[in-house]
Amino acid sequence: MKTFCVIGSILYALFVVFVAKFCTQSNVPDVASSESLARLAVKDGGGVWVGIQECEGLPSLILFNSPVTGSTLALKTSELTADNVRRRIEESDAAFKAFDVQRGI
């Protein structure tokens, strides 16, 4: 009976440790990996990483530069994909070209 109680206590302790570890991993977002994923999306979309702009009460923005014009562009974190980065850069570059044509450059 004594052996049964010892083994039961050990199994219970292992169960508690396992549950605690699982809960902490799933509920706490890893900010470093979120930034890494954002950097990858910007790079894959053809942009140059600038950073993350956080303002209280407003959605966070991912900032990146167009490699052609050097202009700084932004996307909400909820909209960040490589395709959206690419699309935003193309729109901005086209606007710069239209402005240059208008000025006769």
Q: Is the pTM higher than 0.85?
A: no
Q: Looking at the domain assignment, is residue 83 inside a domain?
A: yes
Q: Looking at the domain assignment, is residue 5 inside a domain?
A: no
Q: Looking at the domain assignment, is residue 10 inside a domain?
A: no
Q: How many domains does the chain have?
A: 1
Is residue 4 scored above 80 in pLDDT? no
Domain that holds residue 67: 30-103
pLDDT 10s digits, 42-68: 999 999 999 999 989 999 999 999 999
Q: Looking at the domain assignment, is residue 18 inside a domain?
A: no
Q: Which residues of 32-64 are buried (b: 16+ CB within 10 A; e: fewer)?
A: eeeeeebbebbeebbbebeebeeeeeeeebbbb
